[in-house]
């Protein structure tokens, strides 16, 4: 079994419903032996590098154990995004109903441009580190020297751009 960290985000329509539906669809696609092992609360985040007027994101992080390869999990994530209306070809940082990013896959390290692991911008993104630190504060990812909590504490940006909105509901 591999432990997968997955970031969830939505900034179109009913963002909470989009996150819930995305999780339902993902769990339905995975092998029966897969299990949800951690789930952070919801965080509202100001858009980063998006067009002016873009709606705030609702973000979270989950962890799933599954007997899959990183490429197989990545394919499931892409299929769920598409099922939720995200086009395969899209403008960078365009608003989206559901955005799923594979953050890590156990101890796997990949430099393949199709699937970089751990996620290359994870350590720079408060909207990922805040929920990840809630779910797995002591986690140290391959190639990292600091725990997730340490990475979050070291971020130089203003923490007020990421607000805790409560647990999954």
Task: Kindly list the catalytic residues.
Answer: 86, 96, 99, 101
Q: Is 101 helix (H, G, I), strand (E, B) or coil?
A: strand
Q: How far is CA 119 from CA 14, 24, 35, 64, 83, in A?
A: 27, 23, 22, 16, 23
Dihedrals φ, ψ of 124, to 5°? Answer: -105, -5
Residues in the chain: 169
| Distance in angstroms between the alpha carbons of the first and the last residue of the chain | 27
Q: How far is CA 49 from CA 3, 29, 52, 152, in A?
A: 30, 32, 9, 20
d(CA 47, CA 53): 9
């Amino acid at each position: 079994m591999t432990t997968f960290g997955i970031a969830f985000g939505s900034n179109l329509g009913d963002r909470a419903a989009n996150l819930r539906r995305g999780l339902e669809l993902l769990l339905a696609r995975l092998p029966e032996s897969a299990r949800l092992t951690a789930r952070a609360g919801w965080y509202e985040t100001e858009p980063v590098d998006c067009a002016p007027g873009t709606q705030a994101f609702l973000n979270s992080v989950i962890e799933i154990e599954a007997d899959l390869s990183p490429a197989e999990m990545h394919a499931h994530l892409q299929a769920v995004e598409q099922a939720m209306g995200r086009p395969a070809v899209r403008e960078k940082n365009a608003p989206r109903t559901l955005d799923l990013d594979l953050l890590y896959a156990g101890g796997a390290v990949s430099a393949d441009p199709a699937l970089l692991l751990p996620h290359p911008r994870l350590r720079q993104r408060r909207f990922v580190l805040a929920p990840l630190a809630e779910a797995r504060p002591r986690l140290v990812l391959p190639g990292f020297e600091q725990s997730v909590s340490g990475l979050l504490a070291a971020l130089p940006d203003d923490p007020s751009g990421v607000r805790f909105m409560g647990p999954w509901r």
